[in-house]
Structure 1
């Protein structure tokens, strides 16, 4: 059936709608990456005009992306001042770590029944990349990616979504907790042991190790902020 002016107009509307919804999503990802890598830190003001110029877009999609991040509790609006990367207290971070530890442990319990040899090999390759990371700027995004891969093996998308939301709020604290090289090596040793138990199907041991892995991060954070 040939296209009519009506069907063409409808198609163009759908394409425009897709562009409108996907562009803010891309900007959200860029801002999240800037927070993960430490380009934006807690308390930093988000300059919408400069960011729009950098991305080659208008301020509208940037403003929409900031509103999304505000709902995700990564940024906050301050009256007459604009959008800022949110700062969280040590107490709030402690509460978030406890939730994240339990979610990570649950993911391990579920993943132990699903992890194949190929999955384990993929995870070990990611850990090798972590070991080879020359700096914290290289290490931290890879560490985030590994944790996401571990949670994804649970086969529970809702669990992965909840874990990711909590983790995003903790990016600023977690980055500092892994700054010393010995802490990174210890973390990688724990990663390898977790993968061994996942591959062996040891659900309870994997769950315990994954929960303790996150709580170790909480303890490093508390030690630094005492």
Structure 2
């Protein structure tokens, strides 16, 4: 959990800005960011005192943020031990991938009626940023953002909420599927094909490709853990 002084200063500035509004919500976002970026992994203990000191706040907001994350199934309380980042089994991850694939496909079907040249070019700019990411640590957070933007283009707020909830649980597991250069390259090529079909208004093909994109991630995960693929 080491960070340079500039990052810590910026983080504490954000904390100060939220003191009068929603500090626990900001802490939730910070913990989620730490999970996405791999600073926290499944099974890691969340030290409330150390986190409060790091953020320059009391333990109360940190405890409230942890309770929120517990309801979101990102952390779990272990009796007499404290709060831990939840560990996801291979079988549970596979089930979450299946749900996420269906939601992502539906988002593509809906988004195809809403994506124009401006939206498509913005998505392609994100894909180009992914091309420049040469490590998992660089690629993964940008990949998360691109997927969120694709789903947001569906225009269905409830779908966005459901997709985000499932994806957050998979953050505890998903990084494993994008560790090789070849996997990242293949993943981003799939992004470009998806964007082309969204811009063309091909809803059914966009839906098929987006669902297949998530299933491909599931199969990489299963292969890594020695499981049969679909």
SS in 1 for 2:199: helix
Distance 2:216 2:161 in 1: 22
Distance 2:160 2:40 in 1: 24
Is 1:180 matched with 2:175?
A: no
Residue equivalent to 2:36: 36
Using the TM superposition, name which of 23-32 and 128-137 deviates more. Answer: 128-137
Structure 2 unaligned regions, length at least 5: 1-17
Distance 2:137 2:91 in 1: 26
Q: 1:56-205 alignment to 2 at 5 Å?
A: 56-205=56-205
Residue equivalent to 1:15: none
Are the aligned partners of 2:134 and 2:181 in contact in 1 as well (CA < 8 Å)? Answer: no
SS in 2 for 1:134: coil
Q: Offset of 1:33 from its aligned partner?
A: 0.4
Q: Offset of 1:138 from its aligned partner?
A: 1.0
SS in 2 for 1:77: strand
Residue equivalent to 1:55: 55
Using the TM superposition, name which of 19-28 and 120-129 deviates more. Answer: 19-28
Poorly superposed stretches of 4+, deviation over 6 Å: none
Aligned length: 209
Residues 190 and 92 from structure 1, CA distance in 2 versus in 1: closer, same or farther, beyond 3 angstroms? same
Cα offsets for 1:32-68 (capped at 9, x unmatched)? 0000011000000000000000000000000000000
Q: Offset of 1:172 from its aligned partner?
A: 2.7
- Structure whose alpha-carbon radius of gyration is higher: 1
Distance 1:141 1:209 in 2: 21
Distance 2:215 2:134 in 1: 25
Residue equivalent to 1:5: none
Cα offsets for 1:95-150 (capped at 9, x unmatched)? 10000000000000000000010000000000000000132111110000000000
Q: Offset of 1:19 from its aligned partner?
A: 4.3
SS in 1 for 2:83: strand
Are the aligned partners of 2:86 and 2:172 in contact in 1 as well (CA < 8 Å)? Answer: no
SS in 2 for 1:84: strand
Q: RMSD of aligned C-alpha atoms?
A: 1.0
TM (normalized to structure 1)?
Answer: 0.91
Q: 1:205-224 alignment to 2 at 5 Å?
A: 205-224=205-224
Distance 1:60 1:168 in 2: 24
Residue equivalent to 1:13: none
